[in-house]
């Protein structure tokens, strides 16, 4: 199943929000299954990136310019070579959703409860919105 995920690109001169394609092996029927499938793909990609060896690493002129706007030009080298734990990542994602730290929208409609049923269409657009806690004092 092919889906698109809205991704905010901070600090680039390109579009602020772009859509990235993600292919799922099966069609999820609950939000828990959808989050689980996406987390599983991300953990696999992260762990594969750790074991991947590059012969020659280089940056294009455009990548250097984009990194200059962020204030740091680097090769995105991973300093922590620890593999991600899939079970821990899934547990943390489910708890964070239940605690209201982020919301999921499918085609501009909020997904709702974690174990609630929903109909997901091929090429649906997913948006994950993370809520940030504000700190300060009340006078």
Match 């772009």 to its residue by tokens.
18
As for how many domains the chain has, the answer is 1
Q: Is residue 139 part of a domain?
A: no
Measured CA distances, 100 to 8, 113, 130, 138 (Å): 20, 11, 9, 23
Question: Is residue 15 one of the residues assigned to a domain?
Answer: yes
Q: Which helix (H) or strand (E) holds 92?
A: helix 86-98
Provide the pLDDT for residue 125: 92
* 124 within domain boundaries: yes
Instruction: State which residues form the domain around 88.
Output: 2-130
Read off the pTM: 0.72
Angle between helices 31-51 and 86-98 (to 10 degrees): 140
Q: What percent of the chain has pLDDT over 90?
A: 30
Contact 20, 4 (CB under 8 A): yes
**Taking the alpha carbons of 18, 8, 49, 78 in that order, is the dihedral positive or negative?**
positive
* Domain annotation covers residue 70: yes
Asked if residue 111 is part of any domain, the answer here is yes
The enclosing H or E element of 15 equals none
Does residue 17 sit within a domain?
Answer: yes
Q: What is the per-residue pLDDT across 27-42, written as a single tens digit (0 to 9) for each?
A: 999 999 999 999 999 9
Q: Are strands 2-8 and 125-130 parallel, antiparallel or unpaired?
A: parallel
Q: Could you tell me if residue 14 is inside a domain?
A: yes
Q: Kindly state whether residue 137 falls inside one of the protein's structural domains.
A: no
**Mind listing the pLDDT tens digit for each residue in 76-86?**
665 667 888 99
């Amino acid at each position: 199943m092919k889906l698109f995920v809205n991704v905010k690109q901070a600090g680039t001169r390109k579009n602020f929000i772009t859509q990235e394609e993600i292919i799922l092996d099966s069609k999820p029927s609950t939000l828990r299954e959808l989050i689980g499938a996406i987390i599983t793909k991300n953990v696999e990609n992260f762990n594969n990136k750790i074991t991947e060896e590059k012969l020659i690493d280089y940056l294009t002129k455009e990548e250097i310019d984009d990194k200059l706007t962020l204030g740091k030009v680097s090769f995105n080298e991973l300093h922590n070579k620890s593999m991600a734990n899939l079970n821990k990542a899934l547990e943390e994602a489910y708890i964070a959703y239940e605690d209201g730290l982020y919301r999921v929208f499918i085609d501009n409609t909020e997904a709702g409860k974690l174990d609630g049923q929903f109909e997901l269409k091929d090429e649906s657009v997913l948006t994950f919105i993370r809520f940030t806690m504000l700190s300060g004092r009340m006078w």
